[in-house]
Structure 1
Amino acid sequence: MLIAHLSDPHIMPRGELYQGLVNSNAMFTEAVAQLRRLTPRPDMVILTGDLVENGSPVEYQHALELLAAIEQPLLVIPGNHDEREAFRSAFSDHPLMPRTGPLHFVADTLGPVRIVGLDITVPDDHHGDFDAAAGDWLEAALSAEPDRPTIVMMHQPPFLSGIPFIDDYNCRNSERLAAIIARYPAVERVLTGHIHRFMQVRFAGTLLCTAPSTTTAIALRLSPDAEPASYIEPPALLLHHWKADTGLITHHVPIGTFRGPLPFF
């Protein structure tokens, strides 16, 4: 089972630039084109938040137009730049979209790997919060099929990356999340976005991966007094390949066309 993983496209109204500087819409269009070039084709696509920049209906309308080029089943959770009710309205025709409350879901009919989506956003703020209610919901979701290979996807990462200006906005109450995940060894990965970089860390007895953004990369500045900054680095997506004999293998896939193929050497 192949799962393509996009994150943080920050789609803007048509013709507008992200932060007034970067054409995030064109970059996301190229990311979708990269998906269509992959062979074999992914079985599904997941997107871990910050679909749009300002949470406006016009942005979601444009996002839906760009997402329409994705032919596979699509699973999306909101990030801190999304607006929950506008997001809910935009995806109201998705069968897994909750009608009220946080936008959690369980996708268990799309293949051997079950996908659990967690909405940990805090309205009008940028950090995430895995509160007690989210804990109860996740415990129930995981306990329903405790031995089935599972991915948990969320937006803000529940660890400190070492980049001080983004760590202020991580997921709070990570100890609660870790305690639940640790009880379910069948959780193959916890997948997040938000950091605009690829990172990997052990978490609660499994692996946690952060996906790069399809637009800018947050600067890898690890000094405690580092100034916030971003770069236009080569964007990328992740490809998660689940096989019964190995479990989940995660690939980092640069977005673009590159010289090759060259002779193998």
Structure 2
Amino acid sequence: MLIAQLSDPHVRPRGELYQGVIDSNAQFAAAIAAVNAFDPRPDLVLLSGDLVDHGHDNEYAMLGELLAPLDIPLLAIPGNHDEREAFRRVFVGRSWLPATGPIDYVVDDRGPVRIVALDVTLPGLHHGVVSAEGAVWLDRVLAAEPERPTIVMMHQPPFDTGIPYLDLYSCREGQRFSDVVARHRQVERVVCGHVHRFMQIRFGGTMLCTAPSTTTAIALQLRPEAKPASHVEPPAFLLHHWLEGTGLITHFMPVGTFPGPYPFA
């Protein structure tokens, strides 16, 4: 089973640039085209938050246009830049979408890997939290399929990255989340967005990784006095490949045209 993970496209209204600098819409369109063109085609696409930049209806209308060419089933969660009810409107009719409350859901009919989406966003705030109620829900749904390989998808990662301006907006109550995940050994991966960088860490007895943004890369600066900064790098996504007998392999996939292929490996 192949699962592509796109994240943080920060879609803008037609003709408007992200932060006045980068055409996030064009970058996202290129990433979608790359996913569609990958051979073999992925079975599923995960979109792990910050779908739009300000949560406005005209951004969500643009998002709908950009997603229209995607020929693969899509699962999405909101990020801190999304507006939950506008998010709900753009995905109305999707079988996985809850009618009210947090965008928490389970999808287990798309292949051997089960997807559990946990909405840790707090409307109006940039950090997230694993609430006590969310932890109880997660524990219950994981316990329902203890032998099924599972991915848990959330937006803000529940750990300190060491990048000072990112850690202000992490997901709080990470230990609560870790304690739940550690009880369920079938969790193959926790996947997040938010940080506009690829990172991986051992967490809750499994592996946690964050997806790059299709828009910009937040600068890797580890000094505590570092000021917020970003770079325009090639957009990228993650490809999670489930192999029976091996497990889940995660690949970093830059989007673009590069020299090659050459006849060697």
Structure 2: distance between partners of 1:178 and 1:254 = 30
- State the Cα distance separating 1:57 from its structure 2 match: 1.0
> Are 2:11 and 1:11 equivalent residues in the alignment?
yes
Residues 226-235 or 3-12, more deviating = 226-235
Give the AA of the match of 2:101. G
- State the Cα distance separating 1:35 from its structure 2 match: 0.7
Please list the CA deviations of residues 193-233 of structure 1 after superposition, one character each: whole Å capped at 9, or x if unmatched. Answer: 00000000000110000000001000000001101000001
TM-score by length of 1: 0.99
User: Residue in 2 aligned with 1:157?
Assistant: 157
After TM superposition, which residue ranges in structure 1, 4 or more long, deviate above 6 angstroms? none
Structure 1: distance between partners of 2:121 and 2:152 = 15
User: Residue in 2 aligned with 1:75?
Assistant: 75
User: Residue in 2 aligned with 1:127?
Assistant: 127
Structure 2: distance between partners of 1:233 and 1:162 = 21
Please list the CA deviations of residues 120-171 of structure 1 after superposition, one character each: whole Å capped at 9, or x if unmatched. Answer: 1001000001010101110111011111100000000001111000111000
Structure 1: distance between partners of 2:255 and 2:54 = 24
SS at match of 1:239: strand
Unpaired runs of at least 5, structure 1: none
Structure 2: distance between partners of 1:128 and 1:221 = 22
Structure 2: distance between partners of 1:194 and 1:35 = 20
Give the AA of the match of 2:256. G
SS at match of 1:189: strand
Give the AA of the match of 1:56. H
User: Residue in 2 aligned with 1:37?
Assistant: 37
User: Residue in 1 aligned with 2:244?
Assistant: 244
Structure 1: distance between partners of 2:51 and 2:17 = 15
Alignment check: 8 A CA contact 2:36 2:72 kept: no
SS at match of 2:157: coil
- State the Cα distance separating 1:234 from its structure 2 match: 1.8
SS at match of 2:72: coil
- State the Cα distance separating 1:54 from its structure 2 match: 0.5
SS at match of 1:3: strand
TM-score by length of 2: 0.99
Give the AA of the match of 1:115. I
Alignment check: 8 A CA contact 2:115 2:150 kept: yes
Give the AA of the match of 1:165. Y
Structure 1: distance between partners of 2:245 and 2:85 = 41
Aligned pairs, how many?
Answer: 265
Alpha carbon RMSD of aligned pairs, Å? 0.7
Structure 2: distance between partners of 1:59 and 1:215 = 15
Structure 2: distance between partners of 1:15 and 1:234 = 20
